[in-house]
Amino acid sequence: MYRGNHINPQKFEKGQTKILLVLIPLALFFGLPILFLVCHAFKPMDELFAFPPRFYVVRPTLENFEKLFKASSTSGIPISRYVFNSIIVTALVVFASVVFATMSGFALSKLKFRGKNMIMEINNAALMFVAVAVMIPRYLLVDMIGIKDTYLAHILPLIALPVGLFLVKQFIDQVPDSLIEAAYIDGSGEFRIYWKIILPLIKPAIATCAILAFQQVWTNVETSNLYINNEGMKTLPFYLNTLINLNNNVAGQGVAAAASLLLFLPNFLMFLVLRKSFMNTMANSGIK
């Protein structure tokens, strides 16, 4: 860390002042949208449409959330069903994405087999395609294998995470080959090396992959829109987005603000929990 040269000191030093003078205003600036979203969700109706508009809330209220849950109680499907579907789908997608990304990353990085470079190039090419570009092929595939109106229709289209595989593979490239060879000499097989050596060494990359997978699935409404006709199989983001669209008027702005906050909070909390590992991945991704 070169602590003796004061490049990365353990305590505050005067030389850090110029850095803090730049970083603190930037942090405050980038935090303003989050603060506004929170304040907006707790504004009463008169503050939502106050002129001139107010950034902050003066008289916070839970009225918007009460209206949101009241609107959900009048629907045929309880909101708890949407929450349950989202939890199941999100947990399975995050778990499967991490497993496939780490296993594939290990194989593409440390194992020798024909065609692995081509597979990696295909994965890198997939980074260029947005979800809209593959919407029709995905729908045709889901319809062809007959998984519409099932949890698999939510899960299978979102398991593949090209950016996650790319990051994990780059991280595994930094694991010394001598360590893998020593494990082979000791009699370890590929799965034991993957489980006992690779996974413990790439925990930051795993956390980053989990964050990316969570962000992709939690706010996803495509699967509920395209592959699910049964209302009881749809997810919470789809339901909240439906409420936002239905209440896109003067009277419904409070409900829309509360729904937007509920969609945002899980992503924010996920990042807070895994932020240290996420930053370690960003710091080490360029080290060879």
Confidence of residue 36 (pLDDT cuts 50, 70, 90): confident
Q: What is the per-residue pLDDT for 109?
A: 93
Q: What is the per-residue pLDDT for 263?
A: 85
pTM of the model: 0.82
Which residues have CB under 8 Å from 273's CB, separation 6+? none
Rounded average pLDDT over 53-57: 81
Judge whether residue 243 has pLDDT over 60.
yes
Lowest mean pLDDT among 6-20, 58-72, 207-221: 6-20
Candidates 199, 205, 204; CA nearest to 168 is 205
Judge whether residue 287 has pLDDT over 70.
no
171, 101 Cβ separation under 8 angstroms: no
Q: What is the per-residue pLDDT for 48?
A: 80
Neighbouring C-beta atoms of residue 26, cutoff 10 Å: 9
Mean pLDDT for all residues in the chain: 84
Q: What are phi and psi of 59, to 5 degrees?
A: -120, 85
230, 149 Cβ separation under 8 angstroms: yes
Q: What is the per-residue pLDDT for 12?
A: 65
Q: What is the per-residue pLDDT for 279?
A: 63
pLDDT tens column, 98-139: 999 999 999 999 998 899 999 999 999 988 888 788 888 899
The domain 69-224+231-284 is placed in CATH, from the list 3.40.50.720, 3.40.50.2300, 3.30.565.10, 1.10.3720.10, at 1.10.3720.10
Judge whether residue 53 has pLDDT over 80.
no
Q: What is the per-residue pLDDT for 286?
A: 44
Judge whether residue 259 has pLDDT over 70.
yes
Q: Where are the alpha helices (DSSP H) in the chain?
A: 17-41, 45-48, 63-73, 79-110, 116-126, 135-145, 151-159, 162-173, 177-185, 190-193, 199-201, 203-218, 222-226, 236-246, 253-284
Which residues have CB under 8 Å from 279's CB, separation 6+? none
Rounded average pLDDT over 230-248: 81
Q: Which residue has the higher pLDDT, 71 or 234?
A: 234
Helix axes 162-173, 253-284, angle to 10 degrees: 20
pLDDT tens column, 160-186: 899 999 999 999 998 999 999 999 998
Q: What is the per-residue pLDDT for 141?
A: 92
pLDDT tens column, 265-284: 888 888 888 777 666 655 55
Q: What is the per-residue pLDDT for 277?
A: 66
Q: What is the per-residue pLDDT for 280?
A: 60
| Rounded distance between C-alpha atoms, residue 286 and residue 197, angstroms | 21
**Dihedral angle over CA of 196, 199, 204, 206, nearest 10:** -150
Q: Give the side-chain half-sphere CA count within 13 A for 91.
A: 6
Which residues have CB under 8 Å from 217's CB, separation 6+? 89, 90, 93, 94, 158
Confidence of residue 142 (pLDDT cuts 50, 70, 90): very high
Confidence of residue 264 (pLDDT cuts 50, 70, 90): confident
Q: What is the per-residue pLDDT for 152?
A: 94
| Rounded distance between C-alpha atoms, residue 94 and residue 169, angstroms | 17
Tokens of 28: 């405050």
